[in-house]
Amino acid sequence: MAAEPQEEENPKFAPGEVIHDVATVRGMYQNYFLDYASYVILERAVPAIEDGLKPVQRRILHAMKEMDDGRFNKVANVIGQTMQYHPHGDASIGDAMVNLGQKDLLIETQGNWGDVRTGDGAAAPRYIEARLSKFALDVVFNPDTTEWQLSYDGRKREPTTLPVKFPLLLAQGVEGIAVGLSTKIMPHNFRELCQASIAVLRGKDVQLLPDFSTGGLCDATNYNSGMRGAKIRLRATIEKVDKTMLIIRDIPYGTTTTALMESIVKASEANKIKIKKVVDNTAAAVEIQVQLPTGVSPDLTMDALYAFTDCEISISPNTCVIIGDKPRFVGVEDVLRLSTKATVRLLERELEIRQQELWERWHNASLEKIFIENRIYRRIEEAETWEQILETIDAGLKKFVRVASEKPKANDQRVVLRRLVTEEDLTRLTEIRIKRISKFDGFKADEYLQKLTAELEEVADHLANLTRYAVAYFEGLLKKYGAGRERKTQLRTFDVVTAQKVAVANQKLYVNYQDGFVGYGLKKDEKADVICDCSDLDDIIAIKRDGTFVVSRIAEKTFVGKDILHVGVYNKNDDRLVYNMVYVDGASGISFAKRFLVSGITRDKAYDLTKGTKGTKTLYLTANPNSESEIVTIQLSDKAAARVKQFDFDFAELAIKGKGSMGNIVTKQLIKKIAQKSRGDSTLGGRETFFDAVVGRLNTAGHGRYLGAFDTDETVLVVFKDGSYELTTPDPGNHYDVPSIVLLRKYDPETVLSAVYMDGDTKVHYVKRFRIETSTLGKRFTFITETKGSKLLAVTAHPEPVVEAKVQKDKKGDKETEQIGLHEFIDVKGWKAMGNKLNYYKVHALDLLTDEGPEPQRREAARKRAAGAPAPDAAEAAPDESAVAVTAEEVAQAREVASRSKAQLGLF
């Protein structure tokens, strides 16, 4: 008999130890990992669609409901109660509870619960108290409609999900990180959610946008229903107090005042912004003062705060919820629809339960009435056994009642019951006491049955009209709990703040013309000259004498080539910076002149502004920020064959072209010298400027209302609702607070403003007409009385303004409506004059009537300006504030029409 082969012992394992192969271990790892991932997703991080709660939040609320007696409980006690259901430590429960309490919806708090604005934490659980809010008690709990499960140790029952009759998930928002996925759902406004649910019930489309408890500004242009890939931008509300003070009133959601101040200090230390001091005065409201040094633009600093600090942040929402025990990515509107449908189902279930309870009460009351009024209780005296008693009562009842399923007999007057009489019903009748029978009042019993019948009819009506009932339910929530829950976050559309545009000029640009180096680190180079201030984010352009140039990112020291002719800061979006140039071609000896823009470049790539032949040399070059032309004197060489050795050349005669254009011939003779004779005006005309009321900015890209073409010294007139005005430069970097502005237009010294205001002391109404007599830019001047309560009612720049006033001429008179021509009521006076009184006993209402007459002339004037026609006269211009209503599209159409006309006439 052959010997059995013996297994070799592996010295790495103990005798008898089970050895698994790699495939088995891999399978175990995969299964265990999936189990763990599923647990984290379903039981910890992601909320359920049914109630919008994570398991820990659900268990906290359930524990608080068990403890609820109307009084506050120590949070430490609530945590202890919750630990019977939640298989994790007290710290996680405490943090989750504080988070719920700070949302101010489900939990009513007492004590120091921290502050989400400042980042201050809550006090220890033994010091703070909580109880369920009335809203939570009304909306979240109902044991009759709750599905239950055993707790983790099997000792307790806990809800699978709570029967929440409200889109709680969208109201509170949630954030969680699981294995392989995460969720980030933004909070939304309570009132808007109620209104949106009502709209869903009525079959209307809805759109939900976030609302944050910290307030601030939100650009939800790319919110995309909170789906994956969405993005929202949040900004702090910054108030410009004066030229040396900015105050931050609200902070973006997700940051704190401490973190915000630290980001400001960090940006200041990095020389990205210039500030003098930052002070946190936050108390009941956020107030962070940013003090500026003298000479620093508050508008530029405001943009820099948005670009370099936490005053602007972006959040990427990701709406992931548990639907059917699986994580799903859906939009917030879909979440609302699912929640609203679930609420309707819960309301229907509650009505059905209520209906069943009412029917049982009606059933019992009817049996009791029949039992007593027909003295059936006397028949059981002769019964000897319990069974005989029940049979006697049952037989007595059959004469007076029947079940709805039984076929009625002729003239059957018996009471119709919804179900059979059970032994439990008979037993209940035997338990009626003699005292109650002796005091039985048939009239009251009938009243009670009528009341139950009315309630049953009401419930049946609600069930038949469930949508109407659900709408009334949400309207009730809005009325009962909506007070004080108005939107806190303002929805705006932000302009993009480019870091290069707002970077502080914290460096000096140097150039070594001889050796060909540029940069901000050449301070110790004796051959280097200072060109201008710059920031470390700028690009620079360097043009050499041979007609080549390169654009590079600024650095401490960069070699761009020897024989540098011009160095400056380069802005690729500047379409007004025009270069005037004269160069001599190396091959032919002919001198050319050109005017050009530099655009469409690649960094560190060499470009040639000339024909590129060997020996080419630049004779004259200037950079003109506003496309200014110039006249130069050209002196020819003494050896030139020309009889006239000196003549003037006007660059205004040249068209502005691209950097690659060859230019026009100036002379074929040898040039000895070129010198500037005079500097001309901008050949591109005034800068056409528009006002975008959405972002509160001026622009030259055609967004918003057309203001006009602005030359260098022209300004913008802004009139505010508080009765003041201000002149500003037409700088696109200026911020304009649109809600506080009543009039914004191009300033004309001949413009007459007509205003109606009420004096705060006397309550008398005044009319005044005046011209702007001040010239200080950036300073506000008040043109109404500065007493407390003074109010500007109407202001216009129309030449013949008319207001409609509802007035009372004497104390006992009736209200009358009159139209008042302000230009006929008072002459033009100084801007400090009080004006003339409106001599009425009382002015009840006042409206400014818009005269549409000059509108066609205004639009025609805009079209003529766009087509290059001469400026209109004052009558044609019709200087009303409505002149800004000419849109960018109309200007573009006018240009297109003008271009076609010129082409047809052969003008170009």
Average pLDDT over residues 274-292: 88
The lowest-confidence range among 210-219, 335-344, 686-695 is 686-695
pLDDT single digits (tens) 479-516:
999 998 999 998 888 766 666 555 656 677 888 887 88
Quick: pLDDT tens for 32-51: 666 666 766 766 778 888 88
Mean per-residue pLDDT, 754-779: 89
- Residue 536 makes CB contacts below 8 A (sequence gap 6+) with 271, 503, 506, 507, 520, 554
Could you tell me if 473 and 347 are in contact, meaning their C-beta atoms sit under 8 angstroms apart?
A: yes
The residue among 708 and 188 whose pLDDT is bigger is 188
900 pLDDT higher than 70: no
Choose the weakest-confidence range: 414-418, 451-455, 657-661. 414-418
Pinpoint the alpha helices (H) of 270-385.
Answer: 298-308, 332-373
Please state, in angstroms and as integers, the Cα–Cα distance from residue 847 to each residue in 755, 794, 803, 807, following that order: 12, 7, 6, 12
Most confident range (mean pLDDT) of 159-163, 513-517, 820-824 is 159-163
For residues 742 and 796, give the distance between their C-alpha atoms in angstroms, rounded to a whole number: 9
What confidence tens digit (pLDDT) does each residue in 367-377 have?
Answer: 888 888 888 88
C-alpha–C-alpha distance, residues 314 and 5, integer Å: 70
Pairwise pLDDT comparison (461 vs 845), residue with the higher score: 461
Q: What is the mean pLDDT of residues 61-70?
A: 93
Measured CA to CA, the distance from residue 697 to residue 886 in angstroms comes to 17
Distances (CA, A) of 893 to 120, 473, 868: 57, 53, 13
Confidence of residue 866 (pLDDT cuts 50, 70, 90): very low
Q: What's the predicted TM-score (pTM) here?
A: 0.70
- pLDDT at site 860: 44
Question: Is the model's pLDDT at 469 over the cut of 90?
Answer: yes
The reported pLDDT for the residue numbered 649 is 92
Residue 29's pLDDT is what? 59
Q: What is the pLDDT of residue 778?
A: 81
User: How, if at all, do strands 288-291 and 245-250 pair?
Assistant: antiparallel
pLDDT bin (cut points 50, 70, 90) of residue 15 is low
Q: Which pLDDT score is estimated for 716? A: 92
* pLDDT > 90 fraction of the chain, expressed in percent and rounded: 32
The pLDDT value recorded for residue 163 is 94
pLDDT tens-digit map of 380-438: 887 888 888 888 888 888 888 888 777 777 676 778 788 888 888 888 888 888 888 88
CB-based contacts of 79-84 (< 8 A; 24+ apart in sequence): 79/125, 82/56, 84/151, 84/155, 84/156
Angle between helix 423-430 and helix 386-398 axes, rounded to 10 deg: 100
For the stretch 73-84, pLDDT in tens is 999 999 999 999
Residue 893: its pLDDT value, please?
Answer: 47
The predicted model gives 202-221 an average pLDDT of 91
Say yes or no to pLDDT of 136 above 90: yes
**pLDDT at residue 889 in the model:** 47
pLDDT digits (tens, 9 = 90+) for 593-634: 999 999 888 888 999 999 889 999 999 999 888 788 889 999
Q: Of these residues, 29, 32, 127, 841, which one is catalytic?
A: 127
351: confidence class by pLDDT, cuts 50, 70, 90: very high
Q: What is the mean pLDDT of residues 890-907?
A: 38
The mean per-residue pLDDT over the stretch 853-879 comes to 41
Nearest to 415 by CA among 401, 404, 427: 401
Q: What angle in degrees, to the nearest 10, is found between the helix axes of 332-373 and 386-398? A: 100
pLDDT score for 501: 58
When pLDDT is averaged across residues 661-667 and rounded to a whole number, the result is 91
User: How many angstroms separate the CA atoms of 875 and 283, rounded?
Assistant: 55
pLDDT for residue 302 is more than 90: no
Asked whether residue 277 carries a pLDDT value surpassing 60, the answer given is yes
Average confidence score pLDDT of the chain: 83
pLDDT of residue 838: 85
Specify whether the CB–CB gap between 52 and 170 falls below 8 A: yes
State the residue for tokens 């998930």: 169
What is d(CA 113, CA 122) in angstroms, rounded to the nearest whole number?
4
Q: Which stretch of DSSP H or E encloses residue 426?
A: helix 423-430
d(CA 648, CA 12) in angstroms, rounded, equals 100
| 620 flagged as catalytic | no
Q: Which residues contact 136 (CB under 8 A, 6 or more apart)?
A: 61, 105, 106, 107
What pLDDT sits at residue 43? 66
Per-residue model confidence (pLDDT) at position 633:
92
Range with top average pLDDT, 131-135, 419-423, 706-710, 844-848: 131-135
Please report the pLDDT score of residue 93 as a whole number. Answer: 92
pLDDT of residue 110: 93
Give the H/E segment covering residue 408. none
| pLDDT at position 11 over 70 | no
Return the SS3 of 455.
helix
